[in-house]
Structure 1
């Protein structure tokens, strides 16, 4: 705490000390405006109107927890990497007491069935070993009426660009924390039995992304 220069007798000024934060360590883009500390438009849209208990897969540096709206009473950040987890845990202890950072991954989210009002995946589904299994686990932890909020890579519409993305994907995966840019997250979400209720196409650094919301359809098992 001495390195941050925080007066231990006062609550930390999160706007002053924690900067813009990041979505994920393997995609270090900011979650907040560095001047105003307001959430970026993408992060604000991703979290809009959420309430209750929300689970987000991938903690980044923990600053993203400070972007959640006041209606969210508990934030569970699930992070598999021990170093990243401890970084986020330290940030949340100082600046966001309603958040807790826990170990876990897509294969076994560390919460009981039907516990969460929403699950947030921001540049995370691209890292799942098997997207179908990851979405099944997300579905398990969602309460009835719960939502999946996602912000992910989009598959290029141009066939040449799509082919290039597919060819570079194995190398990209090794260099960027398991990220697979050639996946089609929207198609995978629909295949897993979710209904996409909102979808927006965005561009970041000339790379296409999708931001949306989905709800589980009827269980046909």
Structure 2
């Protein structure tokens, strides 16, 4: 098994367990439904966290392999998998070296995770490797604001927040990273909402991209 010691953030994991429940009630659950709607076949979820996506997978999904490096969050995901409406197998691993054979999956899911991955191009390359030709990448991510002042504020806050927030970056242009990784973006929505009471509404993207056939 890969050495996952660098991915352990127990303080952040405990905080995330609390704040993610609030975020679900403030709109994130609805966006999970929209991102995962229509998926089918075998799915690999990258950075599954505490498993909050699992309840939202449609019955047309035959298996989810949920990859999570952080020990506490992975344990929570294993519990969530027991209640999931589709078969979910939670496995240790990280986005830079996915535990998957080439072309093994019909779809991949990246949900509120690409913000915290150190090497996004390498992670997207791994996701492409794990997908069959023409496979889908479904994504839901918070991103840098297109408002110049808000974007500069995110730039200023990111170094501190990244140290306390499990490596999360507030200022990534994730849509451009997906395109640069040779995915064909088929659907892209930009939404603004406040997942937490103490956080002002900020930009998120959700949508679907596909590997070349």
State TM-score, norm by structure 2: 0.82
Aligned mates of 1:168, 1:31 — CA distance in 2: 21
1:191 aligns with 2:180: yes
Contact 2:62–2:86, Cα closer than 8 Å, also in 1: no
What secondary structure, in the 3-state scheme, does the structure 2 residue paired with 1:132 have?
Answer: helix
What secondary structure, in the 3-state scheme, does the structure 2 residue paired with 1:109 have?
Answer: coil
Out of 80, 85, 89, the position equivalent to 2:74 is 85
**How far off its partner does 1:40 sit?**
3.1
For structure 1, the residue ranges without an aligned partner over 5 or more in a row are: 1-23
**How far off its partner does 1:136 sit?**
0.3
Structure 2 equivalent of residue 126 of structure 1: 115
What secondary structure, in the 3-state scheme, does the structure 1 residue paired with 2:177 have?
Answer: helix
Structure 2 equivalent of residue 108 of structure 1: 97
Range with greater deviation from structure 2 (94-103 or 128-137): 94-103
**How far off its partner does 1:62 sit?**
2.4
Aligned mates of 2:190, 2:175 — CA distance in 1: 11
Larger C-alpha radius of gyration, 1 or 2?
1
Range with greater deviation from structure 2 (151-160 or 134-143): 151-160
Aligned mates of 2:121, 2:87 — CA distance in 1: 30
Range with greater deviation from structure 2 (149-158 or 137-146): 149-158
Structure 1 equivalent of residue 20 of structure 2: 28
Out of 40, 43, 52, the position equivalent to 2:41 is 52
Q: Which protein is richer in helix relative to its size?
A: 2
For structure 2, the residue ranges without an aligned partner over 5 or more in a row are: 1-15, 195-200
Q: How many residues align?
A: 191
Out of 185, 204, 209, the position equivalent to 1:209 is 204
Aligned mates of 2:100, 2:140 — CA distance in 1: 22
Structure 1 equivalent of residue 157 of structure 2: 168
Aligned mates of 1:102, 1:159 — CA distance in 2: 40
What secondary structure, in the 3-state scheme, does the structure 1 residue paired with 2:20 have?
Answer: coil
State TM-score, norm by structure 1: 0.79
Determine which structure has greater relative contact order: mean sequence separation of CA pairs < 8 Å that are 6+ residues apart, divided by chain length. 2
